[in-house]
Amino acid sequence: MGRLLLAVFVGLFLGCTKKESGPSVSSDAKVKVGLVLDKGGKDDKSFNAAAFKGASDAAKDFDIELKVVESPDDASYEPAIRGLAERGFQLVITVGFAQSDALKKISPQFPKTHFAIVDAMVDVPNVASLLFSEHEGSYLVGYIAGSKTETGTVGFIGGMDVDLIKRFELGYREGVLKANPKAKILTNYVGVSSEAWMNPTKGRELTLSQIGRGADIIFSAAGATNSGVFDAVEEKKKFAIGVDSNQNWVKPGRVLTSMMKRVDLAVYNTIKAEKEGKFVWGNKFFGIADKGVDYALDEHNAALISDELKKKVEQVRTDILSGKIKVSDYYVTRTLCPKSPLNCDRSQRRSGESGRTTQSVSQ
C-alpha cells in the first residue's frame, strides 16, 4: 500500500516536472533584454537603481521583454549571465566592474549575443563597455561644495577602496580647491570588499566622525551605504552630496546636490540601439558634454543653490569643455596628488589598512 502511494506520488511529481522539456522559449519576436545587477540591488537608490530605471524606462518605451537579476554574491554573476544568454536573450547588460571577469569568460562563448558592461572595459567583439568621466562630474559637485562650505572643511566618503572611486575623489578634491584653495578635505573609505556598497551603519559612523572633525558638506560615493550618510547629516543639520542617481529627494533640503552618473541613460541608449539593430561593441564614453555626468538641480535643492552659484558652475562646465580647466583623471595619474603639494601634503595613503578604513587629510 505504502509502496503504491509512494510510486503514485513520485510519478505525479516527475510527470508534472517533465511535461515540458525545459523552460519554454517564447517564440515571439520581442527583443529580450537581461539586466544583471551588482550587490546593492535595484533598491540601492543609487548606482543599481539608476541602471534599473534606465532599463525599465526602455521597457516602457519600446516593445521589449526585460528580465532583471540581482546578484547577492560574487559566485552568482557567471551563472546569471550564462543563464540569460542560454535562454536566447539578445542583449545582456551587466552592471558594475565586479562582473568584468565573468563577462570576459562568458561573452566569447556566445558570439551572437550582445553584452554590455557598466564601469569596466571588456575587449571582446560583442561587448559594449559603458564608461563615465566620473572625475569631471565630481569636479562640478566639488566646486559647489567648496563654494558652499562655511567651516572650510568638506568630506568625502568612498564605498570600496578602488581606483574607480579614487577617480571620484580626485575630481572632487580639485573642484573643491578650485572654489576654495584653503579648504581642508577629509577622506574615508567604507571598506575593501564589495560589502562596502551596502553598509549604511558604517557610512553613518564615518559621516559623524567627519562632521566631528569640522566637515559641513560630505560627498558620498558609496552606493546603498549613502542612506547612512544622509541620516547622519540630517541628524547634525549638515549637507550631503548624493551620487549616481539624483538623490536630492531622499532627504530634501539636506542633500546639496547629486553627482549624477547617468547609468540610466547609458543603459537606455544601449537597449534603444539594440532594438533598432544599431548595437555597436567597444568602449563608449559618457562625459560632461553629453550630460552623462552632471550635477542635479531640482525642486528639492533649488533653495540651496543660488543663481549666482549656478552661473559659476556653468562657467566651470564650459571651461572644462573648452579645455581651460583640466581635471586630473586617477586612471591616468595613478596618484591622488598629481599637483602636489597643492592638494596633498602628508596624506600618505595606504590603501586597505587592517581597520578597513583609510584616511587622509590634506590642507
Binding site for other proteins (CB under 8 A): 2-3, 6, 13, 16-17, 19-20, 22-23, 34, 67, 69-70, 72-76, 79-80, 82-84, 87, 97-98, 100-101, 109, 120, 160, 162-164, 192-195, 351-352, 354, 356
Nearest distance, CB of residue 241 and other proteins, angstroms: 23
291: β partners: none
- In whole angstroms, how close is the CB of 3 to other proteins at the nearest point? 8
Three-state secondary structure call for residue 351: coil
Cβ proximity to other proteins: between 194 and 207 the closer is 194
Q: Which is nearer to other proteins, 193 or 209 (CB)?
A: 193
> Residue 67 or 213: which CB sits closer to other proteins?
67
What is the C-alpha radius of gyration for the chain, rounded to an integer number of angstroms?
Answer: 23
Q: Please state the length of the chain.
A: 363
Question: Do β-strands 31-37 and 293-295 pair in parallel, antiparallel, or remain unpaired?
Answer: unpaired
Q: Which CB, 160 or 255, lies closer to other proteins?
A: 160
Query: 280 and 128 in contact (C-beta within 8 Å)?
Result: yes
Q: How many other C-beta atoms can be found within 10 angstroms of the C-beta atom of residue 155?
A: 30
* Closer of 346 and 350 to other proteins (Cβ): 350
Q: Whole-number minimum distance, CB 133 to other proteins, in Å? A: 17
Please state the closest distance from residue 226 (CB atom) to other proteins, in A: 20
Nearer CB in complex with other proteins: 65/234 = 65
Other CB atoms closer than 10 Å to residue 41's CB: what's the count?
18
| Shortest distance (Å) from residue 160 CB to other proteins | 8
Least separation in angstroms between residue 237's CB and other proteins is 35
Tell me the CA distances in angstroms from 28 to 33, 34, 67, 70, 278, one per residue in order: 14, 16, 16, 26, 20
Alpha carbon separation from 180 to 143, 144, 146 (Å, rounded): 8, 10, 5
Least Å distance, CB 75 to other proteins, is 5
In whole angstroms, give the CA distance from residue 146 to residue 137.
14
Question: Smaller CB distance to other proteins: residue 335 or 351?
Answer: 351
Q: Give me the residue label for grid cell 557598466.
A: 118
**C-alpha distance from residue 74 to each of 44, 120, 252, 324 (Å):** 18, 16, 35, 42
Give me the least distance between CB of 5 and other proteins, in Å please. Answer: 8
Residue 7 or 302 having the CB closest to other proteins = 7
255-261/31-37 β-pairing: unpaired
Contact (CB, 8 A) for 82 and 106:
yes
> Coil, strand, or helix at residue 20?
coil
Q: Which three cell numbers stand for residue 336?
A: 591622488
